Structure 1
Amino acid sequence: MSAIEVRDLVKTFGTNTVVDHVSMKVAAGEIAGFLGPNGSGKTTTIRVMCGLLTADGGEGRVLGYDIRSEALKIKREVGYMTQKFSFYEDLSIEENLIFVARLYGMRPARQHVRDTLEDLGLYSRRRQLAGTLSGGWKQRLALAACIMHKPKLLLLDEPTAGVDPKARREFWDEIHARAATGLTVLVSTHYMDEAERCHRIHYISYGKLIASGTVDEVVANADLTTFIMDQGDTASAARMLEGMAGIDQIAPFGNTLHIVGRDRAALAASVAEVSTRTGIEAREGTTSLEDVFIQFMGDAQDNMQ
């Protein structure tokens, strides 16, 4: 069963097509990653799915409801966490959550808030002003507000931006625990380690969905080859490789150089030539999701140009 199933979604603003015939499915209980560069249409697509914006074209159902005619029903079943912290900073954690509980008509509001505070480890901080919280605790407050009404679908728009690695890991552990109970999650992210924690990923670039599948499937379907050079003057090797046949990406990682391309034969020949000229060892490596991400970005054309 699909929690999200949309076909040929289109959303325009003036003459700009921000979402360009996007089709995707997210299974119930799945954690789906939504990847893409800034301005690629991720946030707009999420807002169309949860009923905050109306599509100019296409169709779809979210949690069994039609995105056009039943948007209000979708909103009641969805928890949406925006990029920007959007709570009252001069109210306490508890006061913010009481406000949200009353918006949803939850009764008794204070009991629902108390249960949520205890569930997410916020009870001891319940009287702390939201504006004084660190990034990690603000994130936890935002998550609490999203799940308090027990939604069936979580839409998370870059939820861990600006949060330290420990808080990010704890957040993802919480998301996986919720998904194990049947909650469906669609999360947009720029962090490759987070994308790799998703069951499936969907890559959108400048309004067009260009890849979907498990991480392994997306990497394999990109059909890239990666070579690694190390133990030498890799900076000189990088300068030599620039512009050579088969070279699409050159990325230094400390004293190691990653060289990526689609034309395996041309890439191998260029790397072998530079390896011979410099005496730097070269070997074939494993293509990463980040390599694929960068390749997709390089191939795409800005729809605002």
Structure 2
Amino acid sequence: MTGTPGNFTTDPTAATPAVEVAGLHVVRGDVHALRDISLSIPLGTVTGLLGPSGCGKTTLMRCMVGTQIVESGSVTVLGRPAGSAALRRRIGYVTQAPSVYLDLTIRDNVRYFASLYGRGNDVAAETIEAVGLSSHTHHRARDLSGGQLSRVSLACALVGKPELLVLDEPTVGLDPVLRDELWEHFSTLAAAGVTLIVSSHVMDEADRCESLLLLREGHLLAHVPPDELRTRTGESNLEKAFLALVRDEQVGVEQ
């Protein structure tokens, strides 16, 4: 482990990381959205991006997929600068707001995105089944619930079989059973070599991740596995562990 108390990171792996961020600083309006963020995410892992609303989770994700203007620093994804044209077919991104065509059916939405990635209708059908929407395939997106729309967006990202999948709070509005099924699917994808970065403000999802990026007010407080966070803070409950980390950071600033 490297870093100082309250700002520690896991040691980088020998292999080329899926995502590498160095000295990243982002200003949005008059707000410093991200402050000197540096991190490295290994290939084929599930990383949780956690923190309260407004802490910078979505901004960091936008930097990774190349849609955010940065003030300074660098973001490298799959060995290339974030936003490179060569990455477009290698990254799947699911935003908080559903990114689907409301006048199309589920099947037509997923088939459309499959065609963009050069995938066939058979892959589209498999992907729809993977997100649990096979019984709704002919329903138009405008008639779906919020949770169903989120799953269609996920299917549209998955159908391209991305190497990196960036998911911005994908389980919001989903029932516990479906949340569990989706996380099982995320684990299966990671086992197949896909790298997943999943943001959430729900701390009970943290144990589903191999490592956690904990953000607060644009600062990266820690990048550690869940059990490491428990050990460092002496708290068995992850939400309490996060709060303990925040308190330690505040003490360090005051000193």
Which TM-score bucket, shorter chain as reference? 0.7 to 0.9
Question: What does residue 89 of structure 2 align with?
Answer: 76
**What is the CA–CA distance in structure 2 between the aligned matches of 1:42 and 1:113, rounded to whole Å?**
30
The answer on 1:106 being equivalent to 2:118 is: yes
Q: Does 1:170 align with 2:181?
A: yes
1:50 to 41, 65, 76: 65
- The one-letter amino acid paired with 1:212 is H
Q: Is 1:87 matched with 2:100?
A: yes
Structure 1 residue ranges without an equivalent (≥5):
225-285
Secondary structure of 2:18's counterpart equals strand
Aligned-residue offset at 1:105: 4.9
Whole-Å separation in 2 of the counterparts to 1:191 and 1:97: 28
Structure-2 residue corresponding to 1:210: 221
| Distance in 2 separating the partners of 1:199 and 1:118 | 26
Give the match for residue 3 of structure 2.
none
Higher gyration radius (CA) = 1
Q: 1:13 to 1:118 in 2, by over 3 A?
A: closer
Q: How does 1:157-236 map to 2 (within 5 A)?
A: 157-222=168-233, 224=234
2:26 matches 1:11 = yes
Q: For 2:38 and 2:149, locate their aligned partners in 1 and report how far apart those are by CA, in whole Å.
A: 33
Q: Which has the higher contact order (CA 8 A, sep 6+)?
A: 2
Match of 1:246 in 2: none
Structure 1 distance, partners of 2:123, 2:75, is: 32
Residue 294 of structure 1, aligned match among 224, 243, 255:
243
Gaps of 5+ in 2: 1-14, 251-255
Deviation at 1:296, TM superposition (A): 4.4
| Root mean square deviation of aligned Cα | 2.1
- TM-score by length of structure 1 reads 0.71
Q: Percent identity?
A: 37
> What is the CA distance between 1:100 and its match in structure 2?
2.1
> What letter corresponds to residue 95 of structure 2 in structure 1?
T
1:6-58 per-residue CA deviation (whole Å, 9 max, x = no partner) reads 11111112332111111111110100000111111110110011111132211
What CA deviation, in whole Å up to 9, does each residue of 1:259-294 have, x standing for no partner?
A: xxxxxxxxxxxxxxxxxxxxxxxxxxx531110223
Per-residue CA deviations over 1:220-262 (Å, capped at 9, x if unaligned) read 223x5xxxxxxxxxxxxxxxxxxxxxxxxxxxxxxxxxxxxxx
Tell me the matched-pair count.
Answer: 235
Mapped partners of 2:187, 2:150: distance in 1: 16
State how 1:247-262 maps to structure 2 within 5 Å: none
SS at match of 1:38: coil
